[in-house]
Structure 1
Amino acid sequence: MKNFNASASIFGWHFQINVAIFFMLNEIQNIDSVRVEGKDEDIEFNLKTGNKIFIQAKSKSDLGIDKKALEKFSEGLKTLIYASNNKSYERLYFVTNYPNPIGGQQSHYYMFMGGNYIERQFLELPESSIKRALKKIKEIEKSENLKFDIDNFRIVVMPFDGNIKSTRERIIESKLKDFLTRISMKESYAREILEIWQSDLFFNASDKDTNINLSKRQLMWPVISICCNLRESDKVVIDYEEELGLDKEEVELIISRYEDFINRQTERFDFATKVIGDFSVHRKSHNRREKNINYFVLKNWNSYVDAIFTDSMDAELLETLIKIILFKILNNKQVINEMITEVNL
Structure 2
Amino acid sequence: MQVNRNASASSFGWEFQANAAVVLFVRHIRQASAVRVEGARDDIEIILEDGSRVYCQAKARATNNPGEGSTTRFYQALETLKDDLESPDCDAILYVTNDDHPFGKTYDIAALHEDAELHFSELSDEVQDFVKGRALEAGIKADDLGKFSVRVIGFYGDDESTRRRIIMRHVENFLESINCLSAVQLNKTRLRSQWGQMLQENSSKLDLSICISKKEFIWPIIVEACEVSHDDKFFDECDEDLVGDVLCAFRRAIDSQSERFSLTTKILSDYQDYRRACDGSRSRVKTAFIKDSWKNYIGELGADCLDEEEQRVLSGLVISKVINRGHLIDSVRMEVGL
TM-score normalised over the length of structure 2: 0.86
Matches of 1:309 and 1:127 in 2, distance apart? Answer: 60
The CA deviation at 1:147 is 6.8
The CA deviation at 1:154 is 0.6
The structure-2 alpha-carbon separation of the partners of 1:304 and 1:14, relative to structure 1 and needing over 3 Å to count, comes to closer
* Contact 2:67-2:105 at 8 Å conserved across structures: no
* Contact 1:180-1:186 at 8 Å conserved across structures: no
Deviates more, 1:156-165 or 1:316-325: 316-325
1:237 corresponds in structure 2 to 234
Q: Does 1:279 align with 2:271?
A: yes
Give the alignment partner of residue 257 of structure 1, picking from 220, 239, 245.
245
2:294 corresponds in structure 1 to 301
Matches of 1:338 and 1:88 in 2, distance apart? Answer: 31
Residues 188-267 of structure 1 aligned to structure 2 (within 5 Å): 189-233=187-231, 235-238=232-235, 248-250=237-239, 252-267=240-255
The structure-2 alpha-carbon separation of the partners of 1:207 and 1:308, relative to structure 1 and needing over 3 Å to count, comes to closer
The CA deviation at 1:84 is 1.2
Q: Does 1:183 align with 2:180?
A: yes
Give the alignment partner of residue 317 of structure 2, picking from 300, 318, 324.
324
The CA deviation at 1:163 is 0.7
Give the alignment partner of residue 151 of structure 2, picking from 151, 156, 163.
156
2:134 corresponds in structure 1 to 136
Matches of 1:105 and 1:300 in 2, distance apart? Answer: 68
Matches of 2:222 and 2:97 in 1, distance apart? Answer: 32
* Contact 1:266-1:329 at 8 Å conserved across structures: no
The structure-2 alpha-carbon separation of the partners of 1:264 and 1:35, relative to structure 1 and needing over 3 Å to count, comes to same
Matches of 2:299 and 2:209 in 1, distance apart? Answer: 35
Matches of 1:230 and 1:344 in 2, distance apart? Answer: 27
Q: Does 1:340 align with 2:294?
A: no
Matches of 1:323 and 1:67 in 2, distance apart? Answer: 58
Q: Does 1:26 align with 2:18?
A: no
Task: Provide the secondary structure at the position in 1 that maps to 2:155.
Answer: coil
Which runs of 5 or more structure 1 residues have no equivalent in the other structure?
Answer: 242-247
Deviates more, 1:275-284 or 1:34-43: 275-284
* Contact 1:44-1:52 at 8 Å conserved across structures: yes
Matches of 2:251 and 2:334 in 1, distance apart? Answer: 23
Deviates more, 1:127-136 or 1:174-183: 174-183
The CA deviation at 1:61 is 1.6
2:85 corresponds in structure 1 to 84
In the alignment, residue 111 of structure 1 is paired with which amino acid?
A
In the alignment, residue 24 of structure 1 is paired with which amino acid?
F
* Contact 2:172-2:188 at 8 Å conserved across structures: yes
Matches of 2:43 and 2:309 in 1, distance apart? Answer: 53
Deviations 1:90-136 (A, max 9, x none): 22101111122112525x423313x4x21111122111111111111
The CA deviation at 1:341 is 2.0
The structure-2 alpha-carbon separation of the partners of 1:81 and 1:274, relative to structure 1 and needing over 3 Å to count, comes to same
The CA deviation at 1:342 is 2.7
In the alignment, residue 32 of structure 1 is paired with which amino acid?
S
Deviates more, 1:289-298 or 1:266-275: 289-298
Matches of 1:187 and 1:152 in 2, distance apart? Answer: 39
Matches of 1:29 and 1:110 in 2, distance apart? Answer: 29
Matches of 2:285 and 2:96 in 1, distance apart? Answer: 50
Residues 50-61 of structure 1 aligned to structure 2 (within 5 Å): 50-61=51-62
The structure-2 alpha-carbon separation of the partners of 1:36 and 1:316, relative to structure 1 and needing over 3 Å to count, comes to closer
2:163 corresponds in structure 1 to 168
Which runs of 5 or more structure 2 residues have no equivalent in the other structure?
Answer: none
The structure-2 alpha-carbon separation of the partners of 1:189 and 1:314, relative to structure 1 and needing over 3 Å to count, comes to closer
The CA deviation at 1:162 is 0.8
1:244 corresponds in structure 2 to none
Deviations 1:312-335 (A, max 9, x none): 445455334432332232222233
The structure-2 alpha-carbon separation of the partners of 1:104 and 1:264, relative to structure 1 and needing over 3 Å to count, comes to closer
In the alignment, residue 237 of structure 1 is paired with which amino acid?
F
* Contact 1:141-1:147 at 8 Å conserved across structures: no
In the alignment, residue 273 of structure 2 is paired with which amino acid?
V
The CA deviation at 1:174 is 1.5
Report which of the two structures shows the higher radius of gyration computed on alpha carbons: 1
For these two proteins, the number of residue pairs brought into alignment is: 326
TM-score normalised over the length of structure 1: 0.84
Alpha carbon RMSD of aligned pairs, Å? Answer: 2.7
* Contact 1:33-1:213 at 8 Å conserved across structures: yes
